[in-house]
Amino acid sequence: METSFTPIQALLGGSLIGSAAVALMALHGRVAGMTGILTGVVLPKGDWDWRLAFLLGAIMAPILILVLTGTSLPLQAELPAWAIVLGGLLVGVGVTFGGGCTSGHGVCGIARLSARSVVATLTFMATTFVTVFVVRHVLGGF
């Protein structure tokens, strides 16, 4: 499905994501990785309160935008439910063994010049690229 290149929104949104990552380190001393934050809520070991607050804040974002601007979140995921479940399971297992995802490794880890994060990011970007190619151009979609 076609989507248009939106550099201004991308730049603005990316800067907000980066600002949140800097603020979480400055105030809480934590990496803004969604995998680690979520895991600390569903499998709590000690401090889960700030993590749950972070998740709830993030979930509120589309609701706040809807209330303020009247625009609802465009969400195009025309997939059968089994594909979403399969994708979710693979992501959950993968980020647990890989120790992070796009936010933790891709943004925060690379910003710390962590070799692990650079390797992780190159690896998942490569397998995502191959998967998208196979699904869309070899299998012809789900």
Partner 1 sequence: MLRVVSAAAIGLVFGIGIVVSGMANPAKVLNVFDVFGTWDPSLLVVMGSALVVTFVGYRFVLQRPAPTFDRKFHLPTKHDLDVPLIAGSALFGIGWGIAGFCPGGAIPALGSGQPSPLIFVAAMIGGIFSANALKAVLARREALA
Contacts (CB under 8 A) with partner 1, residues 31-90? 31-32, 34-35, 38-39, 42-43, 49-51, 53-65, 72-79, 81, 83-90
**100 touches 111 (CB < 8 A):** no
Following DSSP, what letter does each residue of 45-89 receive, concatenated? Answer: -S--HHHHHHHHHHHHHHHHHHHHH-PPPP------HHHHHHHHH
Q: How many residues bind partner 1 (CB under 8 A)?
A: 110
Contact between 108 and partner 1 by CB under 8 A: the answer reads: yes
| Least distance CB 86 / partner 1 (angstroms) | 6
Site string for partner 1, 121-140 (x = CB under 8 A): x-xxxxxxxxxxx-xxx---
3-class DSSP state for residue 36? Answer: helix
| Least distance CB 70 / partner 1 (angstroms) | 14
